[in-house]
Structure 1
Amino acid sequence: MTTLKDTVAISGIGRSPYARDRDTTELAMVTDAVVEAIRDSGLPREAIDGVVGGGVITGGVDPATVVSALGLPQVTFWAPCRPPIVNGLMSAVHAVAAGTCRAVVVYHSMYRLSPAPFRARAALGLPDGRAATGDGHTDAEPWGMFGSTGYAAWAARYLAEFGRTREDLSLIPLNNRRNAADNPGAVMRTPMSREDYLSARMIREPLCLYDMDVPIDGADAFVLTSAEVAADLPTVPVLVHALAMGMTAHPEEHLTADLRKTGQQVTAAALRARSDLWIDDVDVFLPYDGFSIITLRAFESYGFCADGEAGDFLRENWDRKQGRILLRGRVPVNPHGGSLSEGGSQGSGHVREAVVQLRGDAGSRQVDGAASALLTPGGFFFNAQAAVLRREAPLTV
């Protein structure tokens, strides 16, 4: 079987800063991030011949619009991709490995809409004036359990089935908020205590305000090239070691059989089969945290502990002095603050943080000797994904 292991690298990264409310357009944020990523890679604009990306609520910025805005002269591959970010990364990796193009920019944008566009959508016939989501759902589907409705229901199922409490859930946002304090780009950096979490406004039982990611405006972009091309560029190449995606036969919240049969387990098994590195080998762990229950369950699905034991496992790996999770006393979990504190990025912020860590550019939150990272963008159902990224040699800082 042909393997793409370590054949493609992330050679450039760019970001349009995250904020709770930016006075700009989605296209402006995308182009800012893409231009920064191209400059960071050291490639000329003319070298970019692939464009992959999209967005969430609005449908995002179409690749053709990006090509036009940047004046890219010769593009031989493009693809619109829904989030999470591994959709775009996998598309770009395959295109580069196949020789379809040589340098692909992958972008992802997050854009909070004012009420005005929602009212405009009502005139176009969307139910109750509510916008379609990036995953093809609408807020008004009477049969669905999309978003917070579905994850709250499954979080309740988890707590009941395994005899756990919200104290387990609290460890995820508490860890992420502590880590966000070291990230100047995080939108939520105010310290949070256990009492703050437990007294927070309940959104959908058992998930409170701090169990759900923070809506933001912003964008991320990545330039991918072959590993050979990357070796001659000025930045430290970060190799795409393995990628995986997964669904079960019924990948919808209201049809999923149980917590042991979700896309998260399918993805974990597929990634394990493709990767030479696993949970005891990586130096940074970046689990997706669009909802805290997704992260809690990831520790179990990826084999850190058994079903229902994530809370106990995290307490065993809790550094009391630092007030955060440190696996085996050294491996941080979402050192940038994740979606719960840096900002909800559908996984693009996690990829950026992995690249920054593996380059040795993370400043005060840098992991000493970071050589590999495990990421699990996406949730349980129709969008479970994962990646292992690595650098050629360990870094000493």
Structure 2
Amino acid sequence: MAGSPGRPLPLLTEQNEFFWTSGADGGLRVQECASCAALVHPPQPVCRYCRGHRMGVRTVSGFATLIGFTVNHRFSLPGLPAPYVVAQVALEEDPRVRLTTNAVECDPGQLALGMRMEVVFEQAGDVWLPLFRPTAQQSEPTPLPEDEPAPRVRPMLTREKFEDKVAITGIGSSALGRRLMVPPLSLTLQACERAVSDAGLTLDDIDGLATYPGAGPYGGFAEGGITALESALRIRPTWHQGGGETFGPGGSLISAMLAIAGGLARHVLCFRTLWEASYGERIKRGEIQPNTTGSDPGWLKPFGAISAAHTLAQNAQRHFHRYGTTRETLGWIALNQRANAALHPTAIYRDPMTMDDYLEARPITTPFGLYDCDVPCDGAVAVIVSAVDAARDLARPPVLVEAVGTQIAERLEWDQSTLTHEPQVLGQSAHLWSRTSLRPADVDVAQLYDGFTFNCLSWLEGLGFCGMGEAKDFLDGGKNIARDGVLPLNTHGGQLSHGRTHGMGLVHEAIVQLRGEGGARQVPGARVAVVSSGGLTPSGVILLRTDT
């Protein structure tokens, strides 16, 4: 078939050319380890199973099992107009190898997990895209592959915990809105100055800076990083850190804790700024251009999988398939966030929402609708991490850090990782509980990452607030996660209703609750809070407590 003009195409390299051009003769080719015969995808210079270095290529049958699909309604690309089906298939020769693809030549309504699929290639210039269609003959659906066993949590190396040496001493947030149309650095400065004042410090007391993701081509997801803030305020830190490959969007806090425990700083100002709504508006007006020059769309975008929603929607679908979860299950999370946001004066969405409103909202990518997705906005949040001995002399009682969880237990490539829950949740959760004697029942309030409703469900199960696959019963009716329930959840409205502040807003709310400053949304007697940030990419989770 002729290629569609404008579809994002992979950049051919010596490492991947065999895959992207294999359709020229109709044979699908995958990297193979010559030492143990395992198939390896995406291609690597070493086998992930035996760690051998003799890598070759095998032509496989082209048959696979459908292990996930989502009908995309929201996003369109040049040459790939919505709706289209993003799918994941597991190769019959080795189900550990999964390909993101498009399901073609079929009615999406007839697709079912476990169907047998076959490759059909679409040529686009020098690239042959491996698409998949259902085979003509279908038997009983094949069971979905099981996830690889997660490695054990590594034990603590010493009895001394770095968490005991630090505390949270200040928080601040900027104005929050859909399209504020102000320079993002202005939002950063507003949040940072408020956090410093909240802690009873001055800018001259700050000797560390940390942010996520830092400077780089992040568009509306950053303001310029450490360099921009230091240039504006002339803080001259003894320690600083900024980058995307850390413990999730809240990774700046954990890095700051380590720096303080190691003696590199006393007071670290951590910040996170987004101006995504204004950034999108300025692109629409033609005032700025997105920076995509020379970037490789990788293994997902050639098939229109351009959003985290496309990956998580398939994880959610498999959770539905395996455990009987429903859209209503996710709806209770969205309704809870909206009810909490109604009590927060800065929340983006405060209007009441019913289950019918949730279910009837326009589809984004099945099974996600509009209210399964967080709210793009402009805003900044700042948090100050201090040495615990210095914290006790400051303006407010410190919030102590009980434990953190950071261990990676699953593969990082989105479509090669775990099948049901959100990747990068289980390892971090298990690691957290290995560093404390507290247990899930001790948690008074949970602020769990909710870029999508399913993120939140995965953290609930991963952290042990209900068993794996038991979220349907735990969430049913929404009572357990209400402010007066077993586990008050995302009490400020979360990212689904308050606004997408990429995890730092959740930290801010956890501190507010532990200080007893939540006003109408305050959970009485909150003494222990858990807050998570991220998922899919490496994430982090922090257990906080009061000093009493």
Fold shared per TM-score above 0.5: yes
After superposition, residues 253-272 of structure 1 pair within 5 angstroms as 253-259=414-420, 262-272=423-433
Moved more, 250-259 or 175-184: 250-259
- Secondary structure of the 1:107 match is strand
C-alpha separation between the residues in 2 aligned to 1:183 and 1:47?
A: 31
Q: List runs of 5+ in structure 2 lacking aligned partners.
A: 1-157
Instruction: Tell me the number of residue pairs that the alignment of Structure 1 and Structure 2 aligns.
Output: 379
Cα distance, 1:138–1:342 mapped onto 2, change above 3 Å: farther
- Secondary structure of the 2:525 match is coil
Letter in structure 2 aligned against 1:125: T
In the alignment, is residue 217 of structure 1 matched against residue 378 of structure 2?
A: yes
Cα distance, 1:316–1:289 mapped onto 2, change above 3 Å: same
Note if contact 1:314-1:325 (Cα within 8 Å) is conserved in structure 2: no
Report what 1:325 is aligned to: 482
What's the offset of the Cα at 1:326? 4.9
Letter in structure 1 aligned against 2:225: D
Cα distance, 1:326–1:12 mapped onto 2, change above 3 Å: closer
What's the offset of the Cα at 1:145? 6.3
Alignment match of 1:114 (pick from 270, 280, 303): 280
In the alignment, is residue 384 of structure 1 matched against residue 536 of structure 2?
A: no
Give the CA RMSD over aligned residues. 2.4
- Secondary structure of the 1:274 match is coil
- Secondary structure of the 2:384 match is strand
Moved more, 175-184 or 114-123: 114-123
Alignment match of 1:227 (pick from 384, 388, 394): 388
What's the offset of the Cα at 1:282? 1.4
Cα distance, 1:157–1:331 mapped onto 2, change above 3 Å: closer
What's the offset of the Cα at 1:375? 1.3
Alignment match of 2:185 (pick from 19, 27, 30): 27
After superposition, residues 1-397 of structure 1 pair within 5 angstroms as 1=158, 2-55=160-213, 57-58=219-220, 59-72=222-235, 74-82=236-244, 84-112=248-276, 113-114=279-280, 116-117=282-283, 120-121=288-289, 125=293, 140=301, 142=303, 146-259=307-420, 262-315=423-476, 318=479, 325-326=482-483, 329=485, 331-379=487-535, 381-393=536-548
Moved more, 85-94 or 300-309: 300-309
Letter in structure 1 aligned against 2:389: E
C-alpha separation between the residues in 1 aligned to 2:265 and 2:192?
A: 17
What's the offset of the Cα at 1:223? 1.1
What's the offset of the Cα at 1:164? 2.3
C-alpha separation between the residues in 2 aligned to 1:218 and 1:138?
A: 32
Note if contact 1:53-1:61 (Cα within 8 Å) is conserved in structure 2: no
What's the offset of the Cα at 1:115? 5.3
Deviations 1:64-113 (A, max 9, x none): 221121122x3101111337332101110011111101110000011121
Letter in structure 1 aligned against 2:470: E
Note if contact 2:332-2:477 (Cα within 8 Å) is conserved in structure 1: no
C-alpha separation between the residues in 2 aligned to 1:225 and 1:272?
A: 23
Note if contact 2:179-2:281 (Cα within 8 Å) is conserved in structure 1: no
Deviations 1:358-380 (A, max 9, x none): 1111111111111110112212x
Note if contact 2:250-2:533 (Cα within 8 Å) is conserved in structure 1: yes
Deviations 1:287-337 (A, max 9, x none): 111110111122221112222210211227617xxxx6257x354111100
What's the offset of the Cα at 1:286? 1.1
In our comparison, the structure showing a higher alpha carbon Rg is 2
Deviations 1:129-169 (A, max 9, x none): xxx9xxx9899455966411111111111111212211111
- Secondary structure of the 1:19 match is coil
- Secondary structure of the 2:330 match is helix
Q: List runs of 5+ in structure 1 lacking aligned partners.
A: none
Cα distance, 1:91–1:154 mapped onto 2, change above 3 Å: same
Cα distance, 1:62–1:260 mapped onto 2, change above 3 Å: closer
- The higher relative CO (CA closer than 8 Å, separation ≥ 6) is in 1
Deviations 1:177-217 (A, max 9, x none): 00111111211100000110010001000000000100010
C-alpha separation between the residues in 1 aligned to 2:410 and 2:478?
A: 35
Moved more, 36-45 or 303-312: 303-312
Note if contact 1:144-1:253 (Cα within 8 Å) is conserved in structure 2: no
- The structure with the greater share of residues assigned to helix is 1
C-alpha separation between the residues in 2 aligned to 1:243 and 1:278?
A: 13
C-alpha separation between the residues in 2 aligned to 1:284 and 1:334?
A: 8
Moved more, 215-224 or 80-89: 80-89
Letter in structure 2 aligned against 1:114: G
Cα distance, 1:247–1:261 mapped onto 2, change above 3 Å: farther
C-alpha separation between the residues in 1 aligned to 2:299 and 2:508?
A: 29
C-alpha separation between the residues in 1 aligned to 2:393 and 2:302?
A: 51
What's the offset of the Cα at 1:121? 4.0
Note if contact 2:397-2:547 (Cα within 8 Å) is conserved in structure 1: no
Q: State the identity as a percent.
A: 34
C-alpha separation between the residues in 2 aligned to 1:391 and 1:40?
A: 17
